[in-house]
Structures are given as C-alpha cells and as structure tokens.
Structure 1
C-alpha cells in the first residue's frame, strides 16, 4: 500500500492541527513528520516555522505535561522527570516544569495515595505490606525518602 505524499504546505497545516489539539514536544512532531514521509530539510523548515508561530513550545509542553500527569495520573516528580527526559526535554525546561507542582499539594497527594494503597493491601505481615505499598508508590515516581517516611508513618 502506497503512503500519501504531502507538500510542505499541506504537511505544515496538518502538523499545526496536530499541535493545536494538544501541546506537543519537538520529538513527537518530528516523528509525525517522518511518518508522513517528509524529507529532513522539509522537517527542519516546518519545525522552525511552528516554533516561530508558537505552535510548538517545549516549555509550555513540559509545564502542561507535568501538571497533567501529577493532577490526573498522580505521578511523582521522579516519573515526570523520566518521561520528559525520554522526550529529549532539556534539564532547564524540566526544572521549570516541576515548579508548576505546588509543594503542599504534592505532599497531600502522596499522603492520599499512600493511605488508599494501605487500605487496599490485604497483607498482614508488616514488612510485606510496607514493600507492596512502597513498590506501588515508587512505580508511580515518588521520591524514595518521601515514600519510606510515609510508609513508616502509616504501617507500624
């Protein structure tokens, strides 16, 4: 089956719509353009025009990503940083994105998650119980020292 070929103008319009629907990072846009069989020179031109026209803004993407993953999926900072680094976001932009997360809201969310998980775990052995809760919270990207403080506070 033959893939459709796009002119630079058509591709730019399609990618603008792609970016308007949801904030995107450079990596996602470049992958999408490659899937559309665009040549590297065209990709460079389109990406630079998208940045110029503010359709593509990595800082805005990182901030909305951090806010969304924290508020909706209840991810911790470690997981958010890992996911942003996978998308080739610079350390400076990642650090500014993490400032979007309110410190007290962050600790309240950890407390809420830990309490819910503690209630859900049926294990009676306190060591196994602590391990199950810790594994759950660490998988979601919460900092190790915060996780163990919280677990020691909840499970005696």
Structure 2
C-alpha cells in the first residue's frame, strides 16, 4: 500500500482550510497545529495562522475546553478525571481545564454517578457483596470518576 502523501498548501489556502476546520467544530490549538504541519506548512507559517485564527475568533481554547467538558460529561457521561486527561492530551492549559471542569454542576455530577452505578449494578452477576462492590467501583473509576466521590454516592444511596 502506498504511503499517504502530505498535502502541500500555501499559507493562504491553509488559512482558509483551517478556518473551515475550526468553524465545523471547536478545536484545540494543538489539533490545528498538528493539522497545519500535516498540510506541509513550516513552523513560522503554522504559528502565524494560529495567531490569525485566534484573532478572528475561529480558535478559542477556552471555548474549546468548555465544549469538550460539556460534551464528554452530558453525552458520554465521563467523570472529571477522564475529561481532564483528554484535555491534557490536547495541551489545554491547566487553568482553562480547571475553569471548564468547574462548570459541571456538582448535583448533576453526583446524579450521573448514581445513575451509572444503578445501571451497572443490574448487569453485575457477582453474588459476593465485597466483590460486587469492587466491580462497581472499578467500573465507575474507569469512567473517570473520583474514588472518594464514588464511595460517597454509593453510601448515600445504599448501592453497596
């Protein structure tokens, strides 16, 4: 199979294509940077285009972080740990990650954990209570929820 050839674009074409790429969906700066390099641009041009996208508000890291948190929490029902890892992989600054995570309503967060626990409990066939609880906690931690919050929710809702 033939190796995929990089697309070589000039700066103007790359800017237009990047604007379209950003308009379609919120993007992190790192995603755009990777895409521009993939299109065969050099670092000076890449940074100029990123600056232009920020100036014209096509690229907004804070808006991206908020959209990412909202989507992963409301749609995928991920916990804060897993969401934070996803944002760190996209090189979003820590203060923006913290601000975006703080936008999650705490009561909604507890409700999502409770709902996920109740749903999972119905599928766990283990009879021994300790192993059953261990499987449930492991599952919830895998979804990115904090162990102390999980244990608190399980205790408060008698889901042991």
Q: What is the TM-score of this pair, normalised by structure 2?
A: 0.92
**Aligned equivalents of 1:64, 1:93: Cα separation in 2:** 12
Provide the residue aligned with 2:72 in structure 1. Answer: 69
Give unpaired runs (5+ residues) of structure 1. Answer: none
| Aligned-residue offset at 1:91 | 1.4
> 1:73 is paired with a residue of what secondary structure?
coil
Give unpaired runs (5+ residues) of structure 2. Answer: none
Is residue 84 from structure 1 mapped to residue 87 from structure 2 by the alignment? yes
- How many matched pairs? 155
Aligned runs of 1:1-156 on 2, under 5 Å?
2-152=5-155, 153-155=158-160
**Aligned equivalents of 1:4, 1:124: Cα separation in 2:** 57
CA offsets, 1:8-51, max 9 Å, x none? 01001111111011100011000001111111111011000000
Q: Which moved more, 1:91-100 or 1:20-29?
A: 91-100
Equivalent residues of 1:133, 1:151 under 8 A apart: no
Large movers: runs of 4+ above 4 Å? none
